[in-house]
């Protein structure tokens, strides 16, 4: 099912489509048990990283992603805005930090940034870094020079989702290719920026497309540090306005499979949480999700209010992760081992 990759360290595995599908199709209880076991080997299972997302330039995008309200090609009724002023972004970031967010993600609805936008973008990265937060940006396709400029400014993460499988990609987006997506991921990685890349469920894909998307991500030369898994929020006026809803158990399966295939990555429960019950979110956390977006809007979509997130965390005994806390610290590892020496904690 798995083969070791001789080019990387001994933890690294190359996944086949069949091997990944076999995991995805496990009886649910076996899948969840395996995912939770893997999760505990690499992370504190009771800590969840909180990211905050701000749209720094909304709407008017020339791309035709069929799920997106920001495409200028769809009649979603969203009006385009200009790139936000740096001071406003920093004021929002400060508020997010004070409310507990440790990572600040800034998204612009572009095919790719223009040279004239770079100084403003760089000032945003530097300013948010100075607040002690991790920085993430999603700006569309980047070339090597833009990636280097962002790396020099101190950008921690670049988000660039592959969305779905290579086979299904052309049914969802026609203005760029799956290969374009992988090129930007490679360029960003080469510049030394950490990668955030995942996809969306509910785009009319089948189960094999879902698995194939995870295989692409897990088999990248270095797996993404963050893997957002989104559930489509259908938007009026977009081609996917009437898309069939995603089955909640299928969504949980996807989270668990992502956790098993990318054991060291943060798996993020992203868009679509407003449509998820507390029970479904709890299952996702058990399946290995350990990151969420907080705040009441996600670019242009609703997101659960922070208060309801904190109520859910209290009910589940979850704690927010600190900035730059990626693995259990020494004290916490000792605590977990003392509680159950059989738990194989990452050392």
**Cβ-based nearer residue to ligand SF4, 5 or 166:** 166
**Cβ-based nearer residue to ligand SF4, 65 or 217:** 65
The residue count for binding ligand SF4 (CB under 6 A) is 8
- Exactly one of 21, 40, 52, 268 is catalytic; which is it? 268
Counting contacts by CB under 6 A, is residue 153 touching ligand SF4? no
| Contact (CB, 8 A) for 194 and 157 | yes
- Binder of ligand SF4 out of 127, 140, 263, 320 (CB under 6 A): 140
Q: Which residues contact 217 (CB under 8 A, 6 or more apart)?
A: 162, 197, 198, 223, 224, 227, 258, 261, 262
To the nearest whole angstrom, how small is the minimum distance from the Cβ of residue 63 to ligand SF4?
Answer: 4
Counting contacts by CB under 6 A, is residue 71 touching ligand SF4? yes
284 is in an annotated binding site: no
Counting contacts by CB under 6 A, is residue 203 touching ligand SF4? no
**Cβ-based nearer residue to ligand SF4, 104 or 110:** 110
- Binder of ligand SF4 out of 61, 121, 195, 201 (CB under 6 A): 61
Counting contacts by CB under 6 A, is residue 147 touching ligand SF4? no
Counting contacts by CB under 6 A, is residue 271 touching ligand SF4? no
Q: Return the residues of window 95-124 that contact ligand SF4 according to CB under 6 A.
A: 109
68 is in an annotated binding site: yes
Counting contacts by CB under 6 A, is residue 156 touching ligand SF4? no
CA 83 to CA 188: how far, in whole Å?
22
| Contact (CB, 8 A) for 252 and 272 | no
CA 309 to CA 252: how far, in whole Å?
19
| Contact (CB, 8 A) for 140 and 110 | yes
Calculate the CA 330 to chain-centre distance.
Answer: 27
Among candidate residues 156, 149, 58, the one with its CA nearest the CA of residue 104 = 156
196 is in an annotated binding site: yes
Residue carrying structure tokens 């009441």: 296
Q: How many CB atoms lie within 10 A of CB 329?
A: 12
- Exactly one of 21, 40, 52, 68 is catalytic; which is it? 68
Q: Return the residues of window 16-45 that contact ligand SF4 according to CB under 6 A.
A: none
| Contact (CB, 8 A) for 219 and 263 | no
| Contact (CB, 8 A) for 169 and 163 | yes
Q: Which residues lie across from 157 on neighbouring strands?
A: 136, 194
To the nearest whole angstrom, how small is the minimum distance from the Cβ of residue 292 to ligand SF4?
Answer: 20
Q: Which whole-number Å values give the CA distances from 68 to 225, 273, 344, in the listed order?
A: 24, 17, 42
- Exactly one of 21, 52, 136, 273 is catalytic; which is it? 136
Q: Please identify every residue annotated as catalytic.
A: 61, 65, 68, 105, 136, 196, 268
Annotated binding site for [4Fe-4S] cluster: 61, 65, 68
Query: What residue ranges bind ligand SF4 (CB under 6 A)?
Result: 61, 63, 65, 68, 70-71, 109, 140
């Amino acid at each position: 099912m798995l083969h070791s990759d001789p080019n990387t360290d001994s933890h690294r595995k190359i996944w086949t489509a069949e091997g990944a599908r076999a995991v995805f199709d496990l009886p649910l209880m076996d899948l969840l048990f395996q995912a939770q076991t893997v999760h505990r080997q690499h992370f504190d299972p009771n800590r969840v990283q909180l990211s905050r997302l701000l749209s720094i330039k909304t709407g008017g995008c020339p791309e035709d992603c069929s799920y997106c309200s920001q495409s200028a090609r769809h009649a979603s009724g969203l009006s385009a805005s200009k790139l936000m002023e740096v001071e406003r972004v920093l004021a929002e970031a400060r508020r997010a930090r004070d409310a507990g967010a440790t990572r600040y993600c800034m998204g612009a609805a572009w095919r790719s940034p223009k040279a004239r936008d770079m100084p403003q973008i760089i000032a945003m990265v530097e300013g948010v870094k100075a607040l002690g937060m991790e920085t993430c940006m999603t700006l569309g396709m980047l070339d090597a020079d833009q990636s280097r400029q962002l790396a020099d400014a101190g950008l921690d993460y670049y988000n660039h989702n592959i969305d779905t499988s290579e086979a299904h990609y052309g049914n969802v987006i026609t203005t760029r290719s799956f290969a374009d997506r992988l090129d930007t991921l490679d360029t960003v990685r080469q510049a030394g920026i950490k990668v955030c890349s995942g996809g969306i469920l509910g785009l009319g894909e089948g189960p094999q497309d879902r698995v194939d998307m995870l295989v692409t991500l897990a088999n990248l030369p270095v797996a993404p540090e963050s893997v957002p898994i989104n559930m489509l929020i259908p938007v009026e006026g977009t081609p996917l306005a009437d898309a069939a809803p995603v089955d909640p158990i299928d969504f949980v399966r996807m989270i668990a499979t992502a956790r098993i295939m990318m054991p060291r990555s943060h798996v993020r429960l992203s868009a679509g949480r407003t449509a998820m019950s507390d029970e479904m979110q709890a299952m996702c956390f058990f399946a290995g999700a350990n990151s969420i977006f907080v705040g009441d809007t996600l670019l242009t979509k609703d997101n659960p209010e922070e208060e309801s997130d904190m109520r859910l965390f209290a009910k589940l005994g979850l704690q927010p992760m600190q900035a730059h806390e990626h693995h259990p610290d020494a004290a916490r590892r000792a605590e977990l081992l003392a509680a159950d020496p059989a738990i194989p904690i990452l050392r």
